[in-house]
Structure 1
Amino acid sequence: MLIHGGTSTVGLAAIGIAHQLGATVIATSRNRERFDTLTQAGADHALRDDHTLAAAVRAIAPDGVDAALELVGANTLPGTLRLIRPGGTVCFTGALNGHWTIPDFSPFTIPNGVRLTSYAGEARDLPAAALDQ
């Protein structure tokens, strides 16, 4: 699982949950000095969020990752979608960089077989059993 925006509060929580559920977690930060924070939260791989990110993810998961949590922004969503294997899912749920929309977006730019979803709710919208776990 890729957590794009891993050093955010939601990102750190997602890393911990994904790790606890047994996922191999790849998490990103723009700042190498935050890599220890990512690994302490449970990330198996901490990657720099820069122009080398796609190649670094593909070095770990050549066929793509199963899932991604996109927290950085809508403008980074197309790149994240390209890192997902067919049958995988991206959940767009944050815009740390302030970009909530993609101008002139076409759903036909989503790679074949990749699912895109979003979450904009609150904790009370989730099943209590999931939060308890």
Structure 2
Amino acid sequence: MDDEEDLGQSGDEDEGPLTMFRPSKLEYTYVLFSVPNIDPVLREVLRVLAPGGKFYFLEHIAEFDLVKHGLRKKIQNVLDRVCVWYFIFNGCHLSRDTLAHIERTGFSSVDAQKYHAPVSSIIFDVDSPCVQGIAVK
């Protein structure tokens, strides 16, 4: 069984495990960075939301300010490539551009802000770039 079958996707918007229940809002907080393939997950979010429904998200992401933090981006790429962060932190992908995935899913609008979250230790500095926003079906 592949990921799309697990999510109940069949290509028909009226099929799948959540056909009877169409939530007006869904919230994912620090979920998508650890999903192996986020595109099927986002398609399922879009599928199950009620028309006009809102998808609220907060995720840490790949570094976006390469002028100020280019070294951080390089460190993220290395940690992802050698799978260190992935294994220590339960599948976390530091260099994923989650917002780009959300924007190309097919929502009618996406309003998002990127920022650098405060971190408790220099070790977690690679994890400070974040995005939060709302995508509307």
> Larger C-alpha radius of gyration, 1 or 2?
2
Greater RCO, 1 or 2 (C-alpha within 8 Å, sep 6+): 2
TM over 0.5: no
